[in-house]
A and B are shown apart, each in its own frame.
Chain A
Amino acid sequence: MTRTNVAARRTGTVIAFSLMLLGALTMVLPFLWMVTTSLKESRLVFTFPPEWIPDPIDWANYLEVWDVAPLAVGLLNSVIVTVLVVTVGTFSSTMAAFAFAKLDFPHKDRIFVALLATIMIPMVVLIIPQFLVFVQLGWIDTLLPLIVPGLLGNVTMIFFLRQYMLGLASELLEAAKLDGAGYLRIYWSIFLPLCKPAIAANVIIVFMATWNDYIGPLIFTNSPENSTVQLVIASMSSYYKDQTDYPMIMTASVIAVLPVILLFTLMQRYFVDSFAFSGIKG
Chain B
Amino acid sequence: MPTTTARPTRRFNRRERIWGLAFVTPITLQVILFSLIPVGIAVYAGFTDWNSIRDTRDFVGLDNFVEFLTDKYFWIAAGNTLYMLIPIPFYLLFGILFALGSHRRTPGSTLFRVLFLLPYVSSVVALVVLWKWIFNYQYGLVNQALGAVGIQGPDWLGDPAWIKPTIVIMIIWKMIGITSIYMLAALKNIPDVYYEAARLDGASPVRMFFQITLPLLTPSIFFLTVVGMIGSLQTFVEVQLFTSDGGREYSAATITYYVWQKAFGSGELGLASAAAFFFALVVLALTLLQFRLSRRWVYEGE
Partner of B38, one of A126, A280, A281: A126
* B115:A282 contact, CB within 8 angstroms: no
Is there contact, CB below 8 Å, between B38 and A183? no
A261 with B118, Cβ < 8 A, contacts A126-B39, A129-B39 known:
yes
Closest to A118 in B: B35
Which B residues from 196 to 241 make CB contacts under 8 A with A? 205, 216-217, 219-220, 223, 230, 234, 236-237, 240-241
Contacts of B189 in A (CB 8 A): 281-282
Chain A residues, Cβ within 8 Å of B280: 121-122, 124-125
Q: Considering the chains assembled together, what is the distance between the CA atoms of A104 and B15 in angstroms?
A: 10
A151 to B117, CA, bound (A): 27
A183 with B15: CB separation less than 8 A: yes
- CA–CA, A154 and B102, complex, Å: 31
A264 contacts B121, C-beta separation under 8 Å: yes
Binary per-residue interface labels of chain A (1-41) against chain B in the complex, 1 for a CB within 8 Å, 0 otherwise: 00000000000110011011101101110110110010000
Q: How far is B134's CA from A31's CA once the two chains are assembled, in angstroms? A: 10
Among the stretches B60-68, B160-168, B254-262, B289-297, the one at the interface with A is B254-262
Write out the residue numbers on chain A whose beta carbons fall within 8 Å of the beta carbon of B106.
Answer: 13, 16-17, 20
**B181 contacts A23, C-beta separation under 8 Å:** no
| B101 and A17 contact, CB distance less than 8 A | yes
Closest approach, in angstroms, between the C-beta of A26 and any C-beta of chain B?
7
B interface size (C-beta, 8 A): 108
Check B250 for interface membership: any CB of A closer than 8 A. Answer: no
Closest to B42 in A: A129
Cβ of A63 under 8 Å from chain B = no
Contact A129 B41, beta carbon cutoff 8 Å: yes
**A282 to B123, Cβ gap below 8 A?**
no
Q: Does B29 make an interface contact (CB < 8 A)?
A: yes
Please tell me if the beta carbons of B276 and A16 are within 8 angstroms of each other in the complex. Answer: no
Q: For the complex, is B1 an interface residue (Cβ under 8 Å from A)?
A: no
Q: CA separation between A152 and B134, bound complex, in Å?
A: 40
Give bound CA distance, A249 to B131, whole Å.
12
Contact A37 B133 (CB under 8 A): yes
- A103 & B20 in contact (Cβ 8 Å cutoff): yes
Decide if A281 touches B34 in the complex (CB within 8 Å): no
Stretch of A46-54, A65-73, A192-200 at the chain-chain interface: A46-54
User: Interface residue count for A (Cβ, 8 Å)?
Assistant: 97
Question: Is B36 a contact of A253 with CB atoms below 8 Å?
Answer: no
Q: Which residue of B lies closest to A28 (CB)?
A: B115
Check A133/B33 contact, CB under 8 A, given A155-B27, A214-B123, A234-B241: yes
- B116 pairs with A24, CB closer than 8 A: yes
Let me know if B39 and A125 touch, CB within 8 A. Answer: yes
B58 at the interface (CB under 8 A from A): no
Question: Is A115's CB under 8 angstroms from B277's CB?
Answer: no
B24 and A96 form a contact (CB under 8 A): yes
Q: Which of B42, B130, B173 contacts A128 (CB 8 A)?
A: B42
The answer on a CB contact under 8 Å between B219 and A282 is yes
Q: Do B126 and A253 have beta carbons less than 8 Å apart?
A: yes
Interface residues of A in 201-228 (CB under 8 A from B): 208, 211-212, 214-215, 218-219
Identity of the chain A residue whose Cβ is nearest the Cβ of B236 in the assembled complex: A215
A6 to chain B, nearest CB (A): 14
Q: Does any Cβ of A come within 8 Å of B92's Cβ?
A: no
- Judge whether A238 and B104 touch: CB under 8 Å: no
Q: Pick the contact of B41 from A45, A132, A249 — CB < 8 Å? A: A132
Contact of A115 with B133 at beta-carbon distance under 8 Å, contacts A16-B106, A121-B280, A126-B42 already known: no
Chain B contacts of A133 at CB under 8 A? 33-34, 37-38, 41
Inside 8 A of A95's CB, which chain B residues have their CB?
23-24, 26
- Residues of A78-109 at the interface with B, using a CB-CB cut-off of 8 Å, are 92-93, 95-96, 98-100, 103-106, 108
Tell me the nearest residue of chain A to B269, going by C-beta. Answer: A128
CB distance from A137 to the nearest CB of B (A): 9
Measured CB to CB, the residues of B under 8 A from A are 12-13, 15-21, 23-24, 26-31, 33-42, 45, 94, 97-98, 100-102, 104, 106-109, 111-119, 121-126, 128-134, 136, 138-139, 141, 144, 148, 173, 176-177, 181-182, 184-190, 205, 216-217, 219-220, 223, 230, 234, 236-237, 240-241, 244, 255-256, 259-260, 263-264, 269, 272-273, 276-277, 279-280, 283-284, 301
6 closest cross-chain pairs (CB), A and B: A105-B20, A282-B186, A282-B189, A129-B38, A152-B30, A99-B23
Question: What are some 17 contacts across the A-B interface (CB < 8 A)?
Answer: A27-B173, A28-B118, A33-B133, A46-B139, A49-B148, A100-B24, A104-B13, A111-B28, A115-B27, A122-B279, A125-B280, A131-B264, A133-B41, A233-B129, A261-B122, A264-B114, A282-B216
